[in-house]
Amino acid sequence: MDILKRLGEAVIEGKIGEIERLTREAIDNNYEPLQIINQGLLSGMEIVGQRFKAEEMYIPEVLLSAETMKKAVNLLKPMLVSGTFGKAGRVAIGTVKGDLHDVGKNIVIMLMEAAGFEVIDLGINVSGNVFADTVREKKPQVLGMSAMLTTTMMEMKNVIDLLKEENLRDQVKVIIGGAPLNKAFADRIGADAYAEDAVIAVDLLKEFVKK
Amino acid sequence: MSKTPQMSSRERVVEAIAHREADRVPIVIASREISIRYSGYTFADIWADGNKYVEAQARLIKDFHIDAAFDIWCTPAVDEALGAHLELPEDDAPWISQPLLKDKGDIKKLKTKIDPQKDGRMPFLLNVVRGLKGKLGENIPICAWVSPPFRTACMLRGSSQLYLDIMLDPGFVKELLETVIGPCTAYGKALTDAGADIICLSNPVANKDCIRYDHYKEFSHPYNRRMFSDIKAHKDVKIMYHTCGNWNDRFDLVTEENVDILHVDKVDLGDLKKNFGSKITIMGNVKAVDTLLQGTPEQVEAEAASCIAKAAKGGGFFLSADCTVPPGVSPDNLRALVNVGLSKGRYPH
């Protein structure tokens, strides 16, 4: 099997102990680092995303695939020409204030990175000011917000209101996600879109960046 | 068939759990946030003075004819007692901001025993349960929360890391579960000693949205089963399990864990009643966000009536929302839910 295909398979199967050896093998076979990432590792992650959506893989398996890929990317990073990775667009994402859930957000990040986006991960319990400062200073095209609690989801509205107050709302598309949310809620608080799952989040991102 | 014209809330709840038809369906809602908001308090107020929480619960129960009280469920209470730092936001639920077990070796530093009368906020939380019992008397059942071992392990380690541990070092995960099951059980028992009638648990990190069936069976199911059995051996109480998220493929396991009441999220109550209704009492499931928070009173009424039609017959049912009632729910919508329970919750015989 072609080494790039084997790299993709290793990501899907979470072969974290073998990925560095396979990556070195690809380098030794004169593949470019970006080619190894895009045609090997990321094509594997894309299948992981599809299997997650189809409930053939669950979070532990997906996280292991992501860790496996990360190990390979870390090996390749020093060889990459600056700016060649993550050039599809820039997105900032975080879990809103008062909410510490990050598993879903982290899966969204993995799939966004797999789709070639530069992702600024703001972490959990992110205040409105941090979201606003990031939009102002880092100028992402899209801002993603996550909330998993019925008690913290209203914080998303506070963030959007703050973006409006600070004249930043028009600079960025806002996508929200999290178990208790729905499209009606997104419309009500003035978000641009609601992402029902991680794969939809990436599709929305691609659509917004294209516009 | 004639029914007792008016039962106490306790009698009504007991009848329902025994799968007998009471005078009407019990109305039981996870009411921490809504009770605090309805009384005009914040979380900071109730942490400063637990009596305010007791008052808030009593007021909600009186004004809305609700059939059970809830304690200040502090799911990370055990984690704090074990050494994790508990964050207490001004007006939000408490949480653990940093996983305590950054390295696997940190497990050696974990206490294996806790004293619920001394450690962390447990003495305060137990006092609130005693306060609820004192204020509401024997007629209102008290529900009190404790975290199950798998969720406690996730909070101590960080969920993402624990999920990776499942894949890379399952032996470590089991060691951690064996370490936390004692403290989780000890706090559950202390809650029953303080007056709790129903011990509540939720395990949103172990549903079908997160882990596969056989992982649940290996890492959550046996520990829950053991913990609930130990609590029930200590005192004659009931166990309520809130199945937050999607649990459709694993109700067979959950209903074998010594659980009495399933507080269900988005699931068809008719199917659940048909498949598991003889084993457990079903509690649910008007949509907390779509309907109670965002809908109209008419929509709440229609959905509540549908829940009753699907699951109330023969007892074994509490009318409720599908999750915690958000603090922003209007009194009109909450009243609409209750009114359906009061008027249409009478058994059709």
Residues B1, B127: Cα–Cα separation, whole Å: 43
Which residues are registered as beta bridge partners of A120?
A92
Pairing of strands A142-146, B142-145: unpaired
Q: Mark which residues 38-77 of A lie under 8 Å from B by CB.
A: 55, 58-61, 63-64, 67
Distance CA B342, CA B26 (A): 9
Kindly tell me the burial class for residue B118, based on how many C-beta atoms sit within 10 Å of its own C-beta (0-12, 13-18, 19 or more). Answer: exposed
- Confidence category of residue A151, pLDDT binned at 50, 70, 90: confident
Residue A151 and residue B33: Cβ atoms within 8 Å?
yes
B167 to A64: CB separation less than 8 angstroms, yes or no: yes
Is the confidence at residue A129, as pLDDT, over 80?
yes
Q: Pick from B246, B290, B238: which is nearest to B264 by CA?
A: B246
pLDDT for A148: 83
Residue A64 CA to residue B87 CA, distance in Å, equals 30
- For the stretch B81-117, pLDDT in tens is 999 998 888 888 888 878 999 999 999 989 889 999 9
Q: Which residues 9-28 of A are in CB contact (within 8 Å) with B?
A: 14, 16
Q: Do B289 and A16 touch (CB under 8 A)?
A: no
pLDDT digits (tens, 9 = 90+) for A93-115: 999 988 878 778 888 887 888 78
Residues B294, B308: contact at Cβ < 8 Å?
no
pLDDT at B224: 98
Identify residue A145 by its one-letter amino acid code.
M
Q: What is the mean pLDDT of residues A157-175?
A: 96
Nearest to B239 by CA among B270, B202, B286: B202
ipTM for the predicted complex: 0.91
Beta-strand ranges (E) seen in B228-288 are: 238-243, 261-264, 281-286
Q: Could you tell me if B153 lies within 8 Å of chain A, comparing CB atoms?
A: no
pLDDT score of A86: 66
**Mean pLDDT for the stretch of residues A110-123:** 87
Sheet-wide strand order for B238-243: B69-70, B142-145, B198-202, B238-243, B261-264, B281-286, B317-321
**Residue A70: what residue type?**
K
Using alpha carbons, select from B272, B131, B171, B154 the residue that is nearest to residue B206.
B154
| Chosen from B163, B211, B249 to mutate, greatest number of chain A CBs within 10 A | B163
Confidence grade of residue A83 (pLDDT, cut at 50, 70, 90): low
Query: Which residues of chain B have a pLDDT value below 50?
Result: 1-4, 349
Please report which helix (H) or strand (E) contains residue A121, including its range: strand A118-126
Total length of chain A: 211
pLDDT at B4: 47
Which pLDDT belongs to residue B87?
A: 86
Question: How much is the pLDDT for A23?
Answer: 97
CB under 8 Å to B200, separation ≥6 — which residues?
A: B30, B70, B73, B143, B144, B145, B146, B239, B240, B241, B242, B263
Contact A180 B160 (CB under 8 A): no
Spacing of C-alpha A53 from chain mean position = 15
Determine the Cα–Cα distance for residues B32 and B35; give it in Å rounded to an integer: 5
Give the Cα separation of A97 and A92 in Å (integer).
Answer: 15
Nearest to A208 by CA among A169, A166, A158, A174: A174
pLDDT given for residue B274 in this prediction: 96
Residue to mutate among A105, A125, A150, with most B CBs inside 10 A, is: A150
Asked if A138 is an interface residue toward chain B (Cβ–Cβ < 8 A), one would say no
What residue has token string 């004819």? Answer: B65
Q: Tell me the pLDDT tens digit for each residue of B229-260.
A: 999 999 999 999 999 989 999 999 999 999 99
Helix boundaries (H) for A29-153: 33-35, 42-53, 59-76, 103-114, 128-138
The average confidence (pLDDT) of chain A is 90
Q: Does B37 touch chain A (CB under 8 A)?
A: no
| Per-residue pLDDT, A82 | 60
**Which residue out of A13, A16, A69, A100 would a mutagenesis test of the B interface target, given it has the greatest number of B Cβ atoms within 10 Å?**
A100
Asked if B323 and A151 come within 8 Å (Cβ–Cβ), the reply is no
